Amino acid sequence: MVDISVSLGNINLPNPIIAASGTFGYGYEFSKYFNLNILGGISIKGTTLEPRFGNPTPRIAECYSGMINSVGMQNPGIKNVIGEQIPMLRKCFNNLILANIGGFSIGEFVACAKLVNECDDIGMLELNVSCPNLHADGENFGTSPEALKEVVKEVRKVLTKKPLYVKLTPNVTDIVKMAKICEEQGADGLSLINTLLGMRIDLATKKPIIANKMGGFSGKAIFPVALRAIYQVYQQVKIPIIGIGGVSSARDVIEMMLAGATAVQVGSQTLINPFAMKEIVANLPKVMAEYKINKIQDIIGGGH
C-alpha cells in the first residue's frame, strides 16, 4: 500500500492535491459533485479587504492548451468570506483551508492578515502579490523586490498564528531572487507559480478579446514554465514549495514533486473537468506503483 500523505511544515495533508484559488470558488459549491475530503486542501477564491465587482467583461479568452482571465479578484470582501463563506466550506470539508489574500496597498494586506490570523478555520494564508501597488504607480508587489520585501515583512508581523505562503508571479527576470526575499522576511513557504501575462486579439474586430487587453495565462501550456521555476527555487531556498501551473494528471503531480514541490495545486483543469482533482487523487497510487514509489513525501526534490 503506497503512502500519499505529505507534510507542509507542521501541517499534515492526506495527499498533496490542493484546489487552486480562483477556479474552485469557495469549495462548498463542488460538494454536491464529490466528497471534498478526498482533497489535501482548498485555496479559496482570492479575497480583498473590501468587496470587489471585478474587471469589465469580457474577462475570459480561450487559448491553445490554456486560457486567459482578467476577472479582477471579484469577491464579497474579507469579512463576508470569514463570516459566511468559510463556515459553509467547513461544514463539508475537514482538511486544510488556505485564504488567498490580495491587496492594493500594504495596509490592505495587513488588515486582511489580522482577520485571517484570528479565524480558527483558516489553516494558512496564501499571499497573492500579483496585485498592483496603487501607491507605487501600479507596479505589482510581486515584480518589485522592495515592495515584496515590505509587504511580506509587514504581514509576517501580524500573522502570528498561521503559516505564511507567498504566491509569486513568474513575470519577473529572476524568480529565485524574489523567493529568497520571501524566505528572508519570514515566509513559511512559497506557492509557485501564478499566471503568466498574455493576450488574444479577435480577428473580426481587430481588438483584444479581454476588456482589460491582457490577463493571466494559465493551463497545460504553462506547466514547463512552472516546473522550471520550482526546480530553480528549490535549489536556493529551504522553505516548502506548493507547485502550481498546468497540472492535469497524477503524472504531472509526481513530476512537480520531483522538481521540488511538497504539494501541488490544480486550477484551470477544474474548469475543463470538475472531477479532475478527484481523478488525480484516485490515479496517484497507481502511478506511484508504476514507478515503484512507496511514499510520495520521499520523492520531493528527487529530480535534482
- Residue 186 resides in a domain: yes
- Residue 70 resides in a domain: yes
Plot region of 93 (φ>0 → left; ψ -120 to 50 → alpha; else → beta): beta
Cell numbers representing residue 304 in the block: 535534482
Is the per-residue pLDDT at 278 higher than 60?
A: yes
Is the per-residue pLDDT at 172 higher than 90?
A: yes
Query: What is the extent of the structural domain holding 195?
Result: 6-299
Which pLDDT tens digit goes with each residue over 194-227? 999 999 999 999 999 999 999 999 999 999 999 9
Q: Is 131 among the catalytic positions?
A: yes
Annotated catalytic residue, options 112, 119, 131, 182: 131
What is the mean pLDDT of the segment spanning 248-263?
98
Is the per-residue pLDDT at 132 higher than 70?
A: no
Question: Could you tell me the CATH number of the domain that includes residue 25?
Answer: 3.20.20.70
**What is the rounded average pLDDT for all residues in the chain?**
96
Contacts of 185 (CB under 8 A, 6+ apart): 149, 152, 153, 156
Listed residue (77, 129, 127) closest to 99, CA to CA: 127
Q: Amino acid identity of 239? A: I
Is the per-residue pLDDT at 138 higher than 60?
A: no
Q: Amino acid identity of 95? A: N
What is the mean pLDDT of the segment spanning 31-50?
97
- Residue 304 resides in a domain: no
Which pLDDT tens digit goes with each residue over 75-102? 999 999 999 999 999 999 999 999 999 9
Residue 81 half-sphere exposure toward CB, CA atoms < 13 A: 29
What is the mean pLDDT of the segment spanning 38-51?
98
- Residue 83 resides in a domain: yes
* pLDDT at residue 139 in the model: 75
CA distance 165 to 194: 13
* pLDDT at residue 80 in the model: 98
Number of domains composing the chain? 1
* pLDDT at residue 17 in the model: 98
* pLDDT at residue 269 in the model: 97
DSSP code per residue over 2-48: -B--EEETTEEESSSEEEPTTSSTTSGGGTTTS-GGGSSEEEPSPB-
Cell numbers representing residue 231 in the block: 526546480
- Residue 1 resides in a domain: no
- Residue 133 resides in a domain: yes
